[in-house]
Amino acid sequence: MKTIEFKTISYSGKDKINEDYILCHKLSDNSLIAILADGMGGLSYGAEAAKIVSESIMTTILDHVQDSSPEDVLCMAFDAADTAISKKCKELKCRMGAAVTVALIIDDFLYYAWQGNVRLYKVCNGELILLSTDHIVTDVEGPFLTRCVNGKGYRDKVPIKQEKLEQTDRIYICSDGCYQYVDFAELAGQNFIISAKNMFDDSSLLEINLI
């Protein structure tokens, strides 16, 4: 792999504050940390929760990526994010949380972890592949998250996976407000565009290109 380029786009939903939060940091020409968090609707301080989770994960990865395995770093990062949210919940006397997906690209490998329904896709040879699984169920009252970062620890182990990357692959991380309102088959093309028009929920997309 020669180098990595990325771009991001994020729109707030209709008549609301944007509760999505994106962070990216290039460690080198061919290494990158990418994070997209989506504050939980129905709870307090969604935008702040997404920011706390993202920044805690980023800080932990930067502190440990040089001396720990990628899998261990991601595990530490999610633990740190949960601790940070727990502390803020106690401070504000509220319930808050966020869904989040993290991609750590080092040389030719993608390491990723997630909680919730922020999706991660790979486009390889024109084929769109969903790498994450939504942590969500639907009942009579509608869909709800079964996993998130909410300061209460994790009932199940945070999934951490690895994927071999080829040059010209593309990676997309997106919030549900994006993939629910756009045709994601278009991601396999080269000129994917999203517009704020008719977006009722926060809509965010992070694109990573391997050049």
Structure confidence by residue, pLDDT tens digits, 138-190 = 887 778 899 999 999 999 999 999 999 998 999 999 998 888 777 766 666 65
Distance CA 195, CA 35 (A): 21
Distances from the Cα of 194 to the Cα of 16, 44, 95, 173, angstroms = 18, 28, 32, 14
Tell me, what DSSP letter sits at residue 202? -
User: What number is the average pLDDT over the span 1-8?
Assistant: 86
Beta carbons of 21 and 36 less than 8 angstroms apart: yes
pLDDT tens figures, 53-69:
999 999 999 999 999 99
User: What span, in angstroms and rounded, lies between the C-alpha atoms of 49 and 136?
Assistant: 19
Domain boundary assignment for the chain: 4-210
76 pLDDT above the threshold of 90: yes
pLDDT of residue 12: 83
Higher pLDDT, 196 or 128: 128
- State phi, psi for 59 to the nearest 5 degrees: -60, -45
How far CA 187 is from CA of 64, 73, 76, 123, in Å, comes to 33, 29, 32, 7
Q: How many CA atoms lie within 13 A of 2 on its CB side?
A: 5
Per-residue pLDDT, 194 = 58
**pLDDT tens-digit map of 85-122:** 999 999 999 999 999 999 999 999 999 999 999 999 99
Q: Are 43 and 27 in contact (CB under 8 A)?
A: no
Binning pLDDT at 50, 70 and 90, where does residue 211 land?
confident
Fold of 4-210: Phosphatase 2c; domain 1 (3.60.40)
DSSP string, 73-98: HHHHHHHHHHHHHHHHHHHHTS---E
